[in-house]
Structure 1
Amino acid sequence: MPGNENAAGNPWKTAALAGMASYLDAAALVTSGIAIGGYYAGPLRLGADAIGALLGLQTLAFAVGALFGGRLGDRFGRRKVFTLSLVLYAAGVLLLLVAADPALLYAGVVATGLAIGADLPVSLALVNEEAPAGRKGTMVVFSGMLWLAGIVAVLVLSSFMGVQGLTGGRILFAHLLVVAVAVLLLRLTLSESAEWTAARRAADARTTARSETVEFSRVRDLFRAPTRYALLATGLYYAAWNLGANTLGQFGTFLWTALAGGEVAQFSQLTLVGLPVGFAAGLLFMRVVDTPSRHTWFAAGSGLIVLAWALPALLGPGKVTLVAVMLISGLGNSFAGESVYKVWSQELFPTLLRATAQGVTMAFTRAVAGLAALGTPAFALGHPRPLFGALFCLALTAAVIGLIWVPRLPTTAGSEPMAPRTSASGTSRRTAV
């Protein structure tokens, strides 16, 4: 296959191109929130219920895409799935770009949600599998840096383009379309995951020989020990943490304008203030994620996230507390949240279940977020402080799961049986749940 040697010899190229799934995910989330919740709302007469329905539907579509895309990636290969998913993503963004009525918006959010949901677990698995030993966590965290870059790009555009209404929204969606097409063309130079190919051949050979023990390659294997505990822990952690992050990503503009009386451009500019710090912190985490000190940095990040959500819960949502949530949680998310969830998801599952497991946990997380999003705008207007109180409790729950449960789970290498995980102190731990 053309490009095999080049891709195999340059894992950073693979990490960048496959990791762009994170960029497109974050950019789509923030763009939809700003464009649909801000620029499109007036001209297309979108009320709070319609905004919540559109953004919630996009998140639910992501859940469906992740569930099926992850499994297809384990069955038929990483490359096929992330290529087809980007074609669907580009088509969905095009619909959002040209939308002149809510009907096209609904079609667009479903298409983009399905596409990025299918792309993300498969692309992350490829990044991990093509990374050299001792650098796998580093390269997976790098995808989190691309996630941050997607947010930065959208916020810069919305802050300084000086265009409002439908035109402003169309410019933001045009950015997504251009990036998606460029990434699609560049991804065609990538080869299939060598680790996945070897594991698939081994599993097929055992199946051909009518072996009764095809270990850790079938969906039902996810729901037996020890993988079921890893599935529960990562799924619950990601869902609990993500509800806060998703609320800021999709409804940050809405909360800022509706609860604090601010302007769309002002919100984007304030958000940008904390992103350089988050970017620098992310670079630091890339240096420590493959070392025993990861747990310490994760604990610090989790503490910052909990503190951030405590402020509006206790003091009420206003300009000061909303800015504090953005800045403090943004720093904490550099060491916890999505970036460390992605690392755990590579370490805790074998090759032929890796994308499937991520698809299941991402689907669960986004389904929960999508259902919550359906009522978030209306609930925020009527009960703002209880909303932030609930997000504080969820952040605390995520911290407990990550600090106590996850370190006790065993890791796995490729399609081999689960191996005991080494804690920060250097001692081995087996599953204890």
Structure 2
Amino acid sequence: MAKTKNFSTWAVSLTNFLDSGSIVAGASGLTLWTSYLKLNSVQVGWLGALSANAFGAAIGALIGGHLSDKYGRKIIYTYDMLVYMLGTLLIAFSVNFPMLLLGFLINGIAVGAGVPASWTYISESSGGNNRAKNMGISQFVWSLGPVVIFIAGTLISPLGVMGNRILFGILTFIAFVAWNLQRKLPESKEWVEQKKIEKETGEKTHPYKDLFSNMVSVKSVLFLVGVYMFWNLVAGAMGFFMPYVYETAGGLSNMQANLLQAVLWGFTALSGYFGFAKFGDKWNHRIFFFVGAAMALISWVVLAYIGMGWPALITFVTLWGISAGIGAQAWYSLWSTELFPTKYRAGAQGFMFFAVRGSAGIWSIIFPSILTGMGFKAAGTLMIIFLLVSLVIGTIWTPHTRGKSLDEITRERYGKDIETNTKKERVKKYVNQTGKNHAY
């Protein structure tokens, strides 16, 4: 049984690999596509805005989260990777800007649809004492995407645009492998039991109506969006534009920029696995979160105010790389699956991911203009402010969920404020009200 759950964690985590992989594949080739298609700064901004890094993923998350709660987590794994492959193939064979933009959009929608389902599935398949471990594994695989793609991008950078086409071809193949693995996974037992209870009781659920009609859920949404959105404004810009920044503001070559990012993501992968996955179920969450958030903040202070000399670049890559593995995204992926009931767990994530990646889309349109018009220091100062906001929100309102099952967390947080505290209690309530004996 443990081996089956471990397999499902790794199989589902391929969605995260393909999420980050598609972002950095686009980022590593941005200057190449700009030169090949003679793109202006507005077109560059739209590529970032409609990609897996922003609006594309935002739209997909809103759709995927709702479908996952209504029809099951498995429906996403049956069809999502097919959409992803359509997007990557469009990019790989692009000959003009509209074709490239459409490929980025379709790819982004597929990424967004898969993320809420994958994080929900992993969390619902975990116990109270290994949930952070399994979410940490998913973040480790997410970090491997950029490592693999940036190293591959470095090796084939002499091929120019053709090299970037090859990268998206590689992602298409990996997506095909992921599709074959994921479509064979069983449905989440938590979801199956939830739907059984709804059928027994006649309860009608609507993920977004139920989500926003409960103040506990609303507060959870505000907290999680606050922690993740402000961090992601920085990470999102970095994920798509950082090689572009290294090359334009730092004077690095495309190969140097890609290699630097590969090192950064290598640190992220290592800290995600040997940090978050190993100790997320054991260490104090508030202190753990603060350490990662503080390292991220310091890294940008160094880059923005010391400059892009190699000592500063190495310091930045080390600090940010480690912080990203134990920072806001890892905690968000864990907390966002813990703080909501099963009936709208994926839908809540879909809405929040929509808000977070949507804000990143707006920032992606604005960021290139700030970078070229006001300079890197001004852009870096805004990054520092965003990271400080995330740090403060996450540290003050850290939830106490360590070592608890999802049902325990739901019961403690919602109590009698929600109609359904636990699955068995819902059946008992129905039996008491109707006198009908439905076996659980």
TM more than 0.5: yes
**Do residues 44 (structure 1) and 37 (structure 2) align?**
yes
CA contact (8 A) 1:85 1:118 kept: yes
Q: CA separation in 2, counterparts of 1:295 and 1:368?
A: 26
Tell me what 1:90 maps to.
85
CA offset at residue 299 of structure 1? Answer: 1.6
Tell me what 1:299 maps to.
290
CA offset at residue 86 of structure 1? Answer: 1.0
**Do residues 227 (structure 1) and 227 (structure 2) align?**
no
Amino acid aligned to 2:215: A
CA offset at residue 317 of structure 1? Answer: 5.2
Q: CA separation in 2, counterparts of 1:60 and 1:401?
A: 24
Please give the secondary structure, in 2, of the residue aligned with 1:333.
helix
**Do residues 272 (structure 1) and 249 (structure 2) align?**
no
Tell me what 1:246 maps to.
236
Moved more, 221-230 or 238-247: 221-230
Change in CA separation of 1:12 and 1:338 when aligned onto 2, cut-off 3 Å: same
Q: Which of residues 361, 365, 372 is equivalent to 1:370?
A: 361
CA offset at residue 160 of structure 1? Answer: 1.6
Change in CA separation of 1:107 and 1:206 when aligned onto 2, cut-off 3 Å: same
CA contact (8 A) 2:264 2:320 kept: no
Structure 2 gap ranges (5+): 415-440
**Do residues 157 (structure 1) and 183 (structure 2) align?**
no
Q: Which of residues 20, 27, 31 is equivalent to 1:33?
A: 27
Moved more, 77-86 or 359-368: 77-86
CA offset at residue 415 of structure 1? Answer: 9.5
Please give the secondary structure, in 2, of the residue aligned with 1:406.
coil
Q: CA separation in 2, counterparts of 1:317 and 1:162?
A: 22
Tell me what 1:143 maps to.
138
Please give the secondary structure, in 2, of the residue aligned with 1:189.
coil
Amino acid aligned to 1:377: P
Amino acid aligned to 1:235: V
Q: Which of residues 6, 11, 26 is equivalent to 2:5?
A: 11
CA contact (8 A) 1:199 1:414 kept: no
Tell me what 2:247 maps to.
257
Alignment of 1:395-406 (within 5 A): 395-406=387-398
CA contact (8 A) 1:99 1:105 kept: yes
Q: CA separation in 1, counterparts of 2:177 and 2:144?
A: 16
Moved more, 310-319 or 288-297: 310-319
Please give the secondary structure, in 2, of the residue aligned with 1:291.
coil
Tell me what 1:431 maps to.
none
Alignment of 1:33-432 (within 5 A): 33-35=27-29, 37-58=30-51, 59-207=54-202, 218-223=207-212, 224-282=214-272, 283-316=274-307, 320-383=311-374, 384-407=376-399, 413-414=406-407, 417-419=410-412
CA offset at residue 167 of structure 1? Answer: 0.7
**Do residues 20 (structure 1) and 19 (structure 2) align?**
no
CA offset at residue 316 of structure 1? Answer: 4.6
CA contact (8 A) 1:350 1:412 kept: no
CA contact (8 A) 2:60 2:110 kept: yes
Moved more, 408-417 or 390-399: 408-417
Q: CA separation in 2, counterparts of 1:266 and 1:63?
A: 31
CA deviation vs aligned residue, 1:8-52 (integer Å, no higher than 9, x gap):
8611111111111110110011111112x1222211112222111
CA offset at residue 253 of structure 1? Answer: 1.1
CA offset at residue 323 of structure 1? Answer: 4.5
Q: CA separation in 1, counterparts of 2:311 and 2:250?
A: 9
Compute the TM-score of the two structures, normalised by the length of structure 2: 0.88
Amino acid aligned to 1:257: E
CA offset at residue 419 of structure 1? Answer: 1.2
CA offset at residue 230 of structure 1? Answer: 0.7
CA contact (8 A) 2:57 2:357 kept: yes
CA contact (8 A) 1:70 1:355 kept: yes
Q: CA separation in 1, counterparts of 2:277 and 2:394?
A: 18
Cα RMSD of the aligned pairs, angstroms, is 2.2
Q: CA separation in 1, counterparts of 2:157 and 2:237?
A: 25
CA offset at residue 94 of structure 1? Answer: 0.4
Change in CA separation of 1:294 and 1:417 when aligned onto 2, cut-off 3 Å: closer
Please give the secondary structure, in 2, of the residue aligned with 1:407.
coil
CA contact (8 A) 2:77 2:183 kept: no
CA offset at residue 313 of structure 1? Answer: 3.2
CA contact (8 A) 1:349 1:412 kept: no
Q: Percent identity?
A: 25
CA offset at residue 337 of structure 1? Answer: 1.6
Change in CA separation of 1:289 and 1:409 when aligned onto 2, cut-off 3 Å: closer
CA contact (8 A) 2:285 2:398 kept: no
